[in-house]
Chain A
């Protein structure tokens, strides 16, 4: 199951990613002023939320709280829906403060089917009643299976369903960049 990286084409490099995140932060500020909280979705939504928070802090001098959300228990393919012995490993949900009366920005790297975001909305609903929930994603690659749209998008990528979009972030993967392409799988 080893992906062949040479079949991938880089569509966003480190510098472009930095510019994109700065622009996303500016868009967040344009839309919403006070009582913001950024909530990153495991795994790569969390470093992205931290970078957005840093950009917001630089722009306004205000610290924006950042949380992390594990949606596993709310997924539509866990529990009875999952093949035997393949339950995903759980991760931590940490919300720095009550989400009541705040504008929550869910942050994720790629918006694809929308199922993750559906699960994230259900997760948040069990934690409180925010003023509003918005969605910020670095990449929107289309192919939605649910009526979900992002409010702040870094880049829209035109993809086919079976193409692979890889967002790599220094915090998780050792480098910054976005690659697209068809994953070539080894037969074994």
Chain B
């Protein structure tokens, strides 16, 4: 049964996929589909958010997501302020809420936040009037990544329903895997997590996914293979014997990819560690849609900004 698109995104914030329903997800994907076209025009900019201010509050390193948000904001004519943990008052001991209160004095309409602590965007959303967009919080969620992944799958296969999606790698520390599991379950896809047992989350059953401790059986007939990076920065101890051994058992190689469906696509949220979780031949191969993911990410972020943008001027609240 195809999912009916919602007519509006009736919320102040997008902090996680877990809060969105299937109709809202569909609306974001549809809106992104129309916004993709802006990048193909001679002038890659529309005036929709002129006069709106977006603060990009990145308390964790990020290149791709931060750039993607910034491009999305600029294509919609918003003004952007970039704030990162290093070289800011945060490194001088300021708390998140003091930072946010000070930023609110500049009256931003949106705050895009990436934070090492799970739940930080949710708390921020409760205390500031600006719309909060979660750009990744700890090991909790990365909603815009899951949406751009879904968009890329839909672009390739037309619908998400019934797709067999393998997510493999360091799932335990992956907010991307969690957001993808929430989203794909809501949209009727089948999710398979494949990882060494030490890299599966503790309560993985609650996510409603099939789990595999070997990559090969998970790949059988798969339509999408999403490889995740080993997040060394989030592990106090290494959960597997060596990188070499990890590659031998869990890397996506051309031979392993043959186990998936012929039409299968390979995805990666980046940054990739070639030779660890993915073989270069696969990353650069004809089945890879990794660069499409990057292009689509801008359209997804534009869609969320657009859909959350109403109700900010006094004129709007009067009418």
| A87 and B316 contacting across the interface, CB-CB below 8 Å | no
In the complex, how many angstroms separate the beta carbon of A97 from the nearest chain B beta carbon? 13
| B310 and A84 contacting across the interface, CB-CB below 8 Å | yes
| A126 and B45 contacting across the interface, CB-CB below 8 Å | yes
| B316 and A74 contacting across the interface, CB-CB below 8 Å | no
**Bound state CA distance, A25 and B117, in angstroms?**
64
Evaluate whether A78 and B41 lie within 8 angstroms (CB atoms) in the complex, with A85-B9, A122-B47 already known.
no
Evaluate whether A83 and B317 lie within 8 angstroms (CB atoms) in the complex, with A70-B34, A78-B48, A92-B34 already known.
yes
Q: Which of A73, A74, A81, A89 contacts B7 (CB 8 A)?
A: A89
Please provide the chain A residues from 3 to 62 with a CB less than 8 Å away from any CB of chain B in the complex. Answer: none
Indicate with 1 or 0, residue by residue over A112-140, a CB within 8 angstroms of chain B CB atoms. Answer: 00000000001001111000000000000
Indicate with 1 or 0, residue by residue over A85-104, a CB within 8 angstroms of chain B CB atoms. Answer: 11101111100000000000
Indicate with 1 or 0, residue by residue over B34-66, a CB within 8 angstroms of chain A CB atoms. Answer: 110110011101111111100000000000000
| A78 and B31 contacting across the interface, CB-CB below 8 Å | no
| B37 and A85 contacting across the interface, CB-CB below 8 Å | no
A63 contacts partner chain B, Cβ-Cβ < 8 Å: no
| B306 and A87 contacting across the interface, CB-CB below 8 Å | yes
Residue among B31, B46, B307 with the highest chain A CB neighbour number at 10 A: B46
**Bound state CA distance, A74 and B146, in angstroms?**
29
Q: Which of A82, A87, A127 contacts B42 (CB 8 A)?
A: A127
Q: Which residues of B contact A87 (CB under 8 A)?
A: 8-9, 306-307, 309-310
Evaluate whether A83 and B47 lie within 8 angstroms (CB atoms) in the complex, with A90-B31, A91-B34 already known.
no
Evaluate whether A126 and B8 lie within 8 angstroms (CB atoms) in the complex, with A79-B52, A79-B309 already known.
no
B102 contacts partner chain A, Cβ-Cβ < 8 Å: no
Evaluate whether A85 and B311 lie within 8 angstroms (CB atoms) in the complex, with A74-B47, A80-B52 already known.
yes
Q: Which residues of B contact A79 (CB under 8 A)?
A: 48-50, 52, 76, 306, 309-310, 312
| A85 and B45 contacting across the interface, CB-CB below 8 Å | no
**Bound state CA distance, A126 and B38, in angstroms?**
10
Q: Which of A83, A90, A128 contacts B316 (CB 8 A)?
A: A83
| A85 and B49 contacting across the interface, CB-CB below 8 Å | no
| A80 and B309 contacting across the interface, CB-CB below 8 Å | yes
Q: Which of A78, A82, A86, A93 contacts B37 (CB 8 A)?
A: A93
For the side of the interface on B, what is the size category? 35 or more
**Bound state CA distance, A79 and B311, in angstroms?**
8
Q: Which residues of B contact A84 (CB under 8 A)?
A: 10, 12, 310-311, 316
Q: Which residues of A contact B42 (CB under 8 A)?
A: 126-128
Q: Which residues of B contact A128 (CB under 8 A)?
A: 42
**Bound state CA distance, A81 and B34, in angstroms?**
21
**Bound state CA distance, A80 and B316, in angstroms?**
7
| A80 and B47 contacting across the interface, CB-CB below 8 Å | no
**Bound state CA distance, A128 and B45, in angstroms?**
13
B313 contacts partner chain A, Cβ-Cβ < 8 Å: yes
In the complex, how many angstroms separate the beta carbon of A93 from the nearest chain B beta carbon? 6
| A81 and B316 contacting across the interface, CB-CB below 8 Å | yes
**Bound state CA distance, A122 and B310, in angstroms?**
21
In the complex, how many angstroms separate the beta carbon of A153 from the nearest chain B beta carbon? 29
Q: Which of B8, B48, B319 contacts A73 (CB 8 A)?
A: B48
**Bound state CA distance, A91 and B34, in angstroms?**
6
The contact sample of 22 A-B pairs, CB cut-off 8 A, is A73-B38, A73-B47, A78-B310, A79-B48, A79-B76, A79-B309, A80-B316, A81-B315, A83-B319, A84-B10, A84-B310, A84-B311, A85-B8, A87-B9, A87-B310, A89-B27, A90-B31, A90-B34, A91-B34, A92-B37, A122-B47, A125-B43
Give the top 6 A-B pairs by smallest Cβ distance, nearest first.
A84-B311, A90-B34, A82-B310, A80-B312, A73-B46, A85-B10
- Chain B residues with CB under 8 Å of chain A are 5, 7-12, 27, 30-31, 34-35, 37-38, 41-43, 45-52, 76, 109, 306-307, 309-313, 315-317, 319
7 A-B pairs besides A73-B46, A83-B311 with CB distance below 8 A are: A79-B49, A80-B311, A81-B316, A82-B310, A85-B11, A87-B9, A90-B31
